Amino acid sequence: MTAVAAGLAACSLTFNWREVPIGDAGLVALLPCKPDRASRALPLGTQSVNIEMAGCEAGGATFAVAHAHAADAAQAAAWLGAWQAATRTQLVGATFTEAAATLPRAALTPAAVRLDARRGGAEERPAAQILWFAQLRAGGVSVYQATVLGAPDRAEATSVFFDGLRLP
């Protein structure tokens, strides 16, 4: 994977891929630029949850990974469900394709989900591509949302981003 990113970086000044640690649970993301970091409270169901984010803009798209820590698998599943619903609400007018996803070492419950949102016909490039997943950890569950907003100049950038997510 790192070789693919290095090859893409060598061909493009727009995408300068780098490994970025996300949260304190060990996830490493491959981002196409130096990320900005922020945290904010996000209403997930009946709770306000502190979400930590790292993201940047490159090649006409925004690449970001958000992280939160849940107490257990039931809380993680509820949060991810609320996160998915909130995201759909923000993408008014889009059509959605949702599918089960896999990520090495991700929890089976709650299961990983991939959502592609398109504005326009099926031939249009996605307006947003989102992956939600979790990982069981000692003392709780780490939940994540990895997002590409917009259509990057290089179509393979989205694959490099999602394939570059690595859980310990």
Determine the pLDDT at residue 6. 47
Q: pTM for the whole thing?
A: 0.88
Please give the C-alpha separations between residue 90 and each of 26, 41, 82, 116, in angstroms, as whole numbers: 29, 16, 12, 13
Residue 159: strand, helix, or coil:
helix
Q: Which of 1-5, 86-90, 115-119, 142-146 has the lowest mean pLDDT?
A: 1-5
> Is the pLDDT score of 4 beyond 90?
no
pLDDT tens by residue, 106-157: 999 999 999 999 987 656 667 899 999 999 988 899 999 999 999 999 989 9
Nearest to 61 by CA among 150, 158, 131: 150
- Give the pLDDT mean for 97-105: 95
Domain 2-163: top CATH class = alpha beta
Residues 6+ away with beta carbon under 8 Å from 156: 8
Are the CB atoms for 55 and 11 separated by under 8 Å? no
